[in-house]
Amino acid sequence: MTPKIDERNTSIPRDSVSFSHDKTTVSKCGKNFCFVCGKAQSKIVRYFKAHENENVEIAEALSFPAHSKKRKELLQALRNKGNFLHNNNVLKKGTGELKVKRCSIKQNSKTYEYCVYCQGMFVRKELWRHMKRCSAKKSKELVHCHVIKPVNFMATVKAAKEVAGFSEDEKTVEAPSFALKIGQHLLQVSSIIQCNAIIAGDKELRECAEEFQTLYRTKWTECVSYTARMSAKEKKYNKTINLPRTEDIQMLTKHLEKVSESAYNKLEKAASMQNYSDLARVCLTRVITFNR
């Protein structure tokens, strides 16, 4: 049993980016946007073939038989991905046409929101109804539940190490902060699944999440966090500091002396706010330079 989510109050937040709707309208054409190049196409699946050799996701989708369910699901996800990127760009600029799933004549662009599962845009009052039956919902929930299964914990650790660039021989990490963030996000996901399982009355899934959290608290530091933190400290201590050349410092000092003298003379001749401000700025610059 998968955790239940209150779809009536759930959508991808648009407040995370400053959006403007001044010149934003809803597209009434049937074209979809390519996520690779951003171009609008009336026959997007046929157009995807142009990118088949350069994009892994497109190549995977087109590798399945023409009318298979898996092929249709993957191609729909790629359509949604391109439209999502286009819509985000339109909302950021505050001008352009939004590509929505179902266009309503009575609704304007402000009334549309994203589905958290498929990233399609729907009228806000109809969004919760779509999310109850969204085809992408089950696959996302299954991925999350699969990751937090206790039996998969060491596989999750291995995957985290690979993406963060762990070197078992040298005991170093290429991206230590990224490795630490992966752990934090995994714990957050397990907590969300645990809460949803409690609400849904799913005892098995709740216990699964709790066991994952126990493993995380006892094993994650040993397997990931300790090495990541040590690598972060070592990188900080070994960071190369580029010092300016002696000639450059001498040149800057002479220039500041000239500017300082000029500003002082101007202030003596005319006691204005502008002249005082100029002298104060150059004095502050000289103090900062001296302290360095």
- Kindly write down the DSSP assignment for every residue of 97-111, as one continuous string: EE--SS--TT--GGG
- Asked whether residue 251 falls in the same domain as residue 228, the answer is no
231 and 156 assigned to the same domain: yes
Q: Which of 134-138, 163-167, 206-210 has the highest mean pLDDT?
A: 206-210
| 117 and 18 in a common domain | yes
Q: Which domain holds residue 58?
A: 7-133
Q: What is the DSSP letter of 224?
A: I
What SS3 string covers 196-223?
A: HHHHHCCHHHHHHHHHHHHHHHHHHHHH
> In terms of domains, do 152 and 197 share one?
yes
- Please state the rounded mean pLDDT for residues 198-211: 87
Same-domain pairing of 205 and 270:
no
Which residues on neighbouring strands pair with residue 41, listed in sequence order?
32
Average pLDDT over residues 129-144: 78
Q: Which residues, in sequence order, are bridge partners of residue 24?
A: 96
Mean pLDDT of 266-286: 86
Section 233-250 average pLDDT: 79
* Domain edge (last residue) among 237, 255, 273: 237
Rg (CA), the chain: 28
**Inside any domain, residue 2:** no
At residue 43, the pLDDT reads 92
Structural domain contains residue 115? yes
User: Looking at the structure, do residues 38 and 121 belong to the same domain, yes or no?
Assistant: yes
State the pLDDT confidence band at 175, using cuts at 50, 70 and 90: confident
The answer, yes or no, to whether residue 258 has pLDDT greater than 80, is yes
Q: How confident is the model at residue 146, as a pLDDT?
A: 78
pLDDT at residue 7 tops 60: no
State the maximum Cα–Cα separation within the chain, in Å, rounded to a whole number: 86
Q: How confident is the model at residue 106, as a pLDDT? A: 63
Report how far residue 228's alpha carbon sits from residue 234's, in angstroms, rounded to the nearest whole number.
10
8 A C-beta contact, residue 196 and residue 144: no
- Per residue in 15-48, pLDDT (tens digit) is 334 344 457 788 877 899 999 999 999 999 999 9
128 & 50 share domain:
yes
- Please provide the distance, in angstroms rounded to a whole number, between the alpha carbons at the two ends of the chain: 62
Domain boundary among 76, 109, 133: 133
**β-bridge mates for residue 16, sequence order:** none
Give the pLDDT score at 79.
92
- Assess if residue 48 is contained within a domain: yes
Residue 282 has pLDDT above 70, yes or no: yes
Domain presence at residue 138: no
- Give yes or no: residues 252 and 276 share one domain: yes
Q: Does residue 52 form part of some domain?
A: yes
Q: Which residue's structure tokens are 């800057």? A: 252
Mean pLDDT in residue range 233-253: 80
Could you tell me the CA-to-CA distances from 70 to 75, 117, 139 in Å, in that order? 9, 17, 12
| Residue 133 clears pLDDT 80, i.e. is over it | yes
| Proportion of the chain above pLDDT 70, given as a percent | 90
pLDDT at 32: 93
- Helix ranges, 94-173 (H): 124-133, 135-147, 153-164
Q: Do 231 and 254 belong to one domain?
A: no
Q: Of the candidates 133, 166, 181, which is a domain's last residue?
A: 133
Residue 141 lies in a domain: no
Tell whether 125 and 13 lie within a shared domain.
Answer: yes
Q: Which residue has the higher pLDDT, 112 or 141?
A: 112
Tens digit of each residue's pLDDT (9 = 90 or more) over 61-107: 999 998 898 899 899 999 999 999 999 888 888 888 888 887 766 66
Is residue 99 within 8 A of residue 79, CB to CB? The reply is no
**How much is the pLDDT for 22?**
55
**116 and 57 within one domain:** yes
Length of the chain: 292
Q: Structural domain tally of the chain?
A: 3
Q: Are residues 250 and 225 in the same domain?
A: no
- pLDDT score of 214 more than 90: yes
**153 located within any domain:** yes
Is residue 250 included in any domain, yes or no?
yes
pTM of structure = 0.48
State mean pLDDT over 143-153. 84
